[in-house]
């Protein structure tokens, strides 16, 4: 289990496959540099960015899924740890931000579905819902996507949301973290913080 979490009663978590840009997004949100690597699986334990006065913590959970050079057993353990973390702190987590790679996410989901597996991204999206945690899908690296609307609509379909994607702007947020283009995400997160009566946290988003 991940034992390093500060004792805070409000949290926003970032989760997603390895190498989708979670740490870059974390840096963009906090102005603080975390170790990012071209090699998947650099983040093996949660990175917590802590604002004690507001009793608020932003957490970047380790990447899951295939990682070159990481044994399957270890990959499964990371996924199990993430699930336990979400279950344990569900009451304090105000938003779960599922970060995906806009260019490859639909293909990855389809590839797993073809093997009769439930793709991790879809599974975690619904798991957040089950736990009562509002989910925002940060569709990253959109600067590399040509067929933007088509791609976002296809992702919605895979997640069980009726297209067009534009009607889900509190759930689907197309961003390019590397370029600092994250407004759709911060707006979506603020919607959920407002619903949780935590407008005081807007300054972090």
pLDDT in tens, 63-94: 888 777 878 888 888 889 999 999 999 999 99
The predicted model gives 10-21 an average pLDDT of 94
**Gyration radius of the chain over CA positions:** 16
The predicted model gives 11-33 an average pLDDT of 91
What is the reported pLDDT for 1?
Answer: 53
Residues in the chain: 205
**pLDDT, averaged across the chain:** 91
pLDDT digits (tens, 9 = 90+) for 115-129: 888 888 999 999 999
What is the reported pLDDT for 71?
Answer: 84
CA angle at residue 60 from 58 to 62, to 5 degrees? 155
Does residue 192 surpass a pLDDT of 90?
yes
The CATH class of the 10-196 domain is alpha beta
The predicted model gives 148-165 an average pLDDT of 97
Q: Tokens at residue 111, please?
A: 């590839």
Backbone phi, then psi, for 90, in 5-degree steps?
-50, -40
User: Of 3, 164, 11, 199, nearest to 97 (Cα)?
Assistant: 11
pTM comes to 0.93
Backbone phi, then psi, for 97, in 5-degree steps?
-100, 110
Q: Are 8 and 35 in contact (CB under 8 A)?
A: no
């Amino acid at each position: 289990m991940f034992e390093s979490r500060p004792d805070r009663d409000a949290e926003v978590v970032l989760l997603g496959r390895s190498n989708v840009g979670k740490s870059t997004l974390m840096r963009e949100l906090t102005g603080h540099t975390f170790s990012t690597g071209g090699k998947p699986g650099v983040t093996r334990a949660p990175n917590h960015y802590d604002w004690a006065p507001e009793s608020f913590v932003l957490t970047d959970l380790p990447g899951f899924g295939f990682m070159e050079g990481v044994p399957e057993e270890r990959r499964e353990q990371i996924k199990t740890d993430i699930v336990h973390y979400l279950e344990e702190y569900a009451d304090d987590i105000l938003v779960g931000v599922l970060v995906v790679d806009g260019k490859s996410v639909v293909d990855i989901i389809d590839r797993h579905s073809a093997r009769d597996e439930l793709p991790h991204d879809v599974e975690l999206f619904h798991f957040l819902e089950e736990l009562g945690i509002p989910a925002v899908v940060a569709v990253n690296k959109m600067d590399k996507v040509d067929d933007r609307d088509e791609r976002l609509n296809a992702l919605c379909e895979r997640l069980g949301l009726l297209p067009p994607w534009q009607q889900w702007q509190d759930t689907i947020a197309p961003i390019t973290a590397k370029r600092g283009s994250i407004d759709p995400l911060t707006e979506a997160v603020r919607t959920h913080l407002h619903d949780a009566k935590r407008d005081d946290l807007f300054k972090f988003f």
